[in-house]
Structure 1
Amino acid sequence: MASLDLSPLWISAKTASTATVITFFLGIATARWMAGYKGGLKSILDGLFIAPLVLPPTVVGFILLLIFGKNGPIGSVLLKLGKTIIFSWQATVIAAAVVAFPIMYQTARGAFEQVDPNLENAARTLGASEWTIFWRITVPLVWPGIAAGTILSFARALGEFGATLMLAGNLPGKTQTAPVAIYFAVEAGDTSKALFYMLVIMGISLGMIFVLNQWKSYQDRVKV
């Protein structure tokens, strides 16, 4: 066990943290916009935003390959600039962010839709700017939902496998996350290594869910 490679755990933690930061801001912005959007494309847009949650991970990975591959709309532009996303650490972040985004988006949107619009309208009549209303009134009201979405998004990004393997591959020390390392360790018959990675990932995920449940219980007691 002394020679066990810990880089997959470090890569997973770094990837999940970066992906969570991206989904945090992007998910909140999208959820806020969709909560107030009344256009005819709302159901279509909502379906697109949630799609990575219900599609098989390999399908998500294939779509990302089509987008970021050398012949894709983004990949071809990056290739002209001498850059590539495929088989890079950035690819692990993109894959994790895409699959975690729907969780943050759904949770935040549900929280925004529960806000009483009369509270925001009252602030407007008192001369508060939209920026002030958002940060001083809306965010404190939706913060429990945002916090829950952030924790669940991190857990989902930490456990991402299918899309990551297709877009980033399995490069030890570079793109080999813990879930990918578990798969190839099992394939190679190294069950002790797979078990170690599994226990660490499971411990982190269950620990975060436990903290989330304890925090919710505390919030419920405070409200009473």
Structure 2
Amino acid sequence: MRVKSLLKQPTFYHWMTAPLFNAGAVRFGKLRSYHTLDTCPKAGLKAWLIFQGVRDGTSYHNQRRWLLYEGYRKEFNELSETLSSLSFEARVRRLSSAEAQGENNAPSLACVHQLMNVIPPATIAAFDFALLVALNKAGERLNLLDGKEAAFSNKDAVKIVQSKYASWYEFHSGCIAGAYFRNPPKDTATLLPAYAQSLLEFSQMPPSMRWDYPF
């Protein structure tokens, strides 16, 4: 039973991480999911890590720690709370002002405004923990992380998201939203249709493992 469980875990991680590479405005060639992180050229893996802000062992472990305790969900939730406290008219004015003045967080504000009422209550935590699992695999391949530590971290990430989301659909909803929040399209008017299309594509190919698979 133990061996069977170990063989199935990578499949679960595949379905966790697929939205990281197949949604959002930025793609990384042949990187498509957890499985491809194990087989892609190391040069491509290093380029992906640099995109994630990882340039050495220290920044790698800092990024993993940040994803575990704060992550992109922290900013998303803070912006969501700010916008939720405003009337509709005030919210529109805030968004227009941010765009007109070229504020750095203007695309993020627009993203949160469009997605905060259509994703699960756990918001984009799915994205953070999917990214953590992907970083664990990349670090394992590049000798930045011990295999046993990667395995423990992956299991912890799974337990957290299984407690926050009720199904693969909910998880993918939050993860895809996170992918667009991390890399919003230049034209934010296309964000919601792109998000809906990505979610539809994932819902049409249901994962081969049940969401509450015991780890």
Greater fraction of residues in helix: 1
Q: Which has the greater radius of gyration? A: 1
